[in-house]
Every structure is written in C-alpha cells, then in structure tokens.
C-alpha cells in the first residue's frame, strides 16, 4: 500500500493510511512536516504536527500544525488568509517526517515571503 494520499479538492481526506501511533515522534511528541508547493516543488516551510493537527488536516483538507511557540493548534491561514490546501501527504522511509505537497494561497512565511527559505548561506 502506498504512503501517499492524493486529493483533487480541499475537502476531507478521510482516514489516514498511516495511523498517528505508527508515526515516529520527536522528543516533544511531534512529527516534522516539510511543506512543498505542489506545482513548483519549492520548499515553503517546515512545521510540526501533534495528533490533533494530524487528524484535523485529514478532516479539513487544510494544513493544520501545532504551534510550539503558542502551544496550540494552528490552522495555516485562519489569521492571515494564506491557506495551504493539501494535495499529497507522504511519510518518509522512517515515518518520522511528513512531506506535504500543497496548493498555497498567498505567502507561506510570516514575513510575507512566498517561502520561508530565502536566507542564502553560501555565496556562489
């Protein structure tokens, strides 16, 4: 069975093919999520999920995270209007990281940038 979930529209994804209990969590009980634009494959951001965020993402089709700084559930876009609609969710080989391919509305970064990755560390 594939570890990929594909949807055509931002609606309920149904039941996860991998249960929360089968994912490997970090020391805080979270799973890392790498978020990627579904069309360009640009990495937009990295966030974390707890069980509630994981299940809410499947229920709504919108990316939902656990905010470590606010210590609460965070539905991406509820404040900014910059929603992320799930197109694919893929667990890595160790099942300790999720790759979320999304349709991004507006900016992914809190700075207003489309991606959180814009600080070059190497000059060519």
pLDDT tens profile 67-100: 999 999 999 999 899 999 999 999 999 999 999 9
Domain assignment of residue 84, yes or no:
yes
Q: Residue 28 domain-assigned?
A: yes
How many domains are contained in the chain? Answer: 1
Minimal CA–CA distance to 5: which of 77, 90, 78? 90
Give me the tens of pLDDT residue by residue for the chain, a chain 124 residues long.
Answer: 445 544 334 557 888 999 999 999 999 999 999 999 999 999 999 999 999 999 999 999 999 999 999 999 999 999 899 999 999 999 999 999 999 999 999 999 999 999 999 999 998 8
Measured distance CA(80)–CA(123) in Å, rounded: 33
CATH of the domain at 35: 3.10.20.810
Residue 93 belongs to a domain: yes
Range of the domain at 86: 4-14+23-104
Q: Give the single-character DSSP code of 51.
A: H
Q: Which two tokens stand for residue 47?
A: 């966030």
Whether residue 100 lies inside any domain: the answer is yes
Give me the pLDDT at residue 24, please.
98
Q: Is residue 115 part of a domain?
A: no
Q: Is residue 47 part of a domain?
A: yes
């Amino acid at each position: 069975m594939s570890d990929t979930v594909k949807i055509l529209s931002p609606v309920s994804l149904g039941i996860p093919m991998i249960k929360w209990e089968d994912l490997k969590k970090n020391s805080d009980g979270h799973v890392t999520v790498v978020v990627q634009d579904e069309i360009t494959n640009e990495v937009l951001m990295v966030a974390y999920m707890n069980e509630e965020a994981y299940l809410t993402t499947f229920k709504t089709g919108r990316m939902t995270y656990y905010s470590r700084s606010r210590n609460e559930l965070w539905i991406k876009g509820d404040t900014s209007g910059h929603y992320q609609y799930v197109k694919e969710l893929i667990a890595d080989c160790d099942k300790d990281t999720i790759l979320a391919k999304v349709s991004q509305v507006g900016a992914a970064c809190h700075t207003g940038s489309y991606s959180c990755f814009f600080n070059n560390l190497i000059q060519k």
